[in-house]
Amino acid sequence: MLELLNTRRSVREFKADPVDEQDVQDILEAAMNAPSAVNEQSWQFVVLSGTMLKEFCTINTNTPKGAAVGILVCLDLKAEKAKGYAIQDCSAATENILLAVHAKGLGGVWTTVFAQNADKVRALLAIPDGIQPFSFVPIGYPVRKPAKLKNGFDKKKVHKNTW
């Protein structure tokens, strides 16, 4: 498990190969098993592919193009029991997506849905009121193996008992 955590990297260039539907389901199951405040699970997911994925990428321009599929993580404000914690819930779900993607031998990167694009994304995908686009992970086979990080553990970033 530690190797999986320590070798996950952001991938922004993808081969055109399709991603297996079972892999996408497994990745979504991992997302749904993320921890959440008071177990509220205040997330919803939209799986994008084909034309809809391309249209999404033209609206949300920070998203790398070329992925076979992508998962939009949305805050479900109606499911939020602990007000203000849906962001943490969706962050944990997004990290689980990235880890599951890596475990499957795929690549992905955490991107945001810019506030100025949220209404256009909501309209494109017919997202109902109370659901807010949060993050997007394009998923596919990496063009090349991501480089290893050089820094690894940095003890200067760890403080014990006090600063």
- 82-133 pLDDT, tens digit per residue, is 889 999 999 999 999 999 999 999 999 999 999 999 999 999 999 999 999 9
C-alpha distance from residue 96 to each of 28, 52, 69, 137, 151 (Å): 9, 24, 16, 11, 23
| Token pair for 134 | 């949060």
Closest alpha carbon to 43 in 29, 56, 24: 29
C-alpha distance from residue 64 to each of 14, 53, 54 (Å): 9, 11, 10
**Domain boundary assignment for the chain:** 27-139
Confidence grade of residue 48 (pLDDT, cut at 50, 70, 90): very high
3-class state of residue 134 by DSSP = strand
Q: Cα(first)–Cα(last) distance of the chain, in Å?
A: 30
Instruction: Give me the pLDDT at residue 96, please.
Output: 97
User: Given a cut of 90, is residue 150 above it in pLDDT?
Assistant: no
Instruction: Give me the pLDDT at residue 99, please.
Output: 96
- For the entire predicted model, the pTM comes to 0.92
Q: What percent of the chain has pLDDT over 70?
A: 98
User: Given a cut of 80, is residue 4 above it in pLDDT?
Assistant: no
Closest alpha carbon to 86 in 94, 72, 75: 75
More confident residue, 41 or 153: 41
Instruction: Give me the pLDDT at residue 100, please.
Output: 97
> What is the assigned CATH class of domain 27-139?
alpha beta
User: Given a cut of 90, is residue 153 above it in pLDDT?
Assistant: no
Within the chain, where are the H helices?
A: 2-7, 21-32, 50-59, 86-103, 115-125
3-class state of residue 133 by DSSP = strand
User: Given a cut of 90, is residue 11 above it in pLDDT?
Assistant: no
